[in-house]
Structure 1
Amino acid sequence: MIINKILNVDDYYFDVFMSISESLTGFSVNELQSTGLAEIYYKHILGQIEAATFTEFLNISKNILENSYTQDQLNNAIAAEIFANASTEDIANSIITLWYLGTWEGAYVNDLSYKEGLVWNVMHSHPPGAKQPGYKSWGVKPVNSNI
């Protein structure tokens, strides 16, 4: 797979971060960017863990992404090279949690991170108290409802 320039961020590793986030979350780079949190999350991680540790994780991710030509190869490489190592596994799990729940080590990154958590898309729901479901939404059956 080729890592393309994603946004006008002068840090090459940002593109790697977005590409590995796509693989870890199952959401496309466009879907992740549409949260409005991509750069915020990247900078937040840089402020939370040592730059050398994060760079090592991103270098491993870059090699995986560049040397995987099928989805199966990519999944196997992530399992073997990221989830098999305790330090990279911790970072990967934290990135997944960050995108899905908007939290890093149990605390929300900001107000938007709660609203834009991927968990709401997966649940076909909205974040209570933050986004309205829409006018007359109560008249529509929930997704996968047996009602």
Structure 2
Amino acid sequence: MIINKILNVDDYYYDVFMAISGTLTGFSANELQSTGLAETYYKHILGQIETATFLEFLNVSKSILENSFSQDQLRNAIQSEIMADPGMQDMSNNIITMWYLGTWEGTYVNELSYKESLVWNVMHAHPPGAKQPGFKSWAVQPVNSNS
């Protein structure tokens, strides 16, 4: 799998972070970028844990991404090389939680992280008190509604 540049960010590991984030969350790199939080999350992780720990995770991720040529290979490699290692699994769980809920170890990353959490897209909802759905939105039947 090829890791492409997403932005003009010179940090090579940023590209790996975005690629593995997309794989772990099931969202494309563009969808993750559209939250406006990609660089913020990357820098937040660098400020929260030892750089060497994060780089080890990113190097393992890079190897997995480069050596997986199908989705099955990718899933199996993540399972055996990341999820089987408690430290790597904790890191991946924190990254998934950060994207989906906007938190790192139980604390919101910033004021935007709640509003732009991926959970709202998954639920086809809006974050209460932060982003309103729009005028007359109550007249539109909810997605997957049986009524």
Q: Same fold (TM over 0.5)?
A: yes
Q: Hey, what does 2:19 align to over in structure 1?
A: 19
Q: Hey, what does 2:117 align to over in structure 1?
A: 117
Please show how residues 80-119 of structure 1 align to structure 2 within 5 Å.
Answer: 80-119=80-119
Please show how residues 29-108 of structure 1 align to structure 2 within 5 Å.
Answer: 29-108=29-108
Q: Hey, what does 1:127 align to over in structure 2?
A: 127
Task: Measure, in 1, the Cα distance between the counterparts of 2:128 and 2:111.
Answer: 13
SS at match of 2:78: helix
How many angstroms does 1:2 deviate by? 0.5
Q: What amino acid is aligned across from residue 94 of structure 2 in structure 1?
A: S
How many angstroms does 1:137 deviate by? 0.4
RMSD of aligned Cα (Å) = 0.5
How many angstroms does 1:70 deviate by? 0.5
SS at match of 1:127: coil
Task: Measure, in 2, the Cα distance between the counterparts of 1:5 and 1:118.
Answer: 22
Task: Measure, in 2, the Cα distance between the counterparts of 1:127 and 1:2.
Answer: 34
Q: Deviations over 1:67-124 (max 9, x none)?
A: 0001111011001000000000000000000000000000000111000000000000
Q: What amino acid is aligned across from residue 32 of structure 1 in structure 2?
A: L
Q: Hey, what does 1:145 align to over in structure 2?
A: 145
Task: Measure, in 2, the Cα distance between the counterparts of 1:137 and 1:73.
Answer: 42
Instruction: State the percentage of identical aligned residues.
Output: 78
Task: Measure, in 1, the Cα distance between the counterparts of 2:111 and 2:72.
Answer: 36
SS at match of 1:97: helix
Q: What amino acid is aligned across from residue 120 of structure 1 in structure 2?
A: W
SS at match of 2:74: helix
Moved over 4 A (4+): none
Q: What amino acid is aligned across from residue 49 of structure 1 in structure 2?
A: I
Unaligned runs of 5+ in 2: none
Q: TM-score, normalised by structure 2?
A: 0.99
Q: Hey, what does 2:7 align to over in structure 1?
A: 7
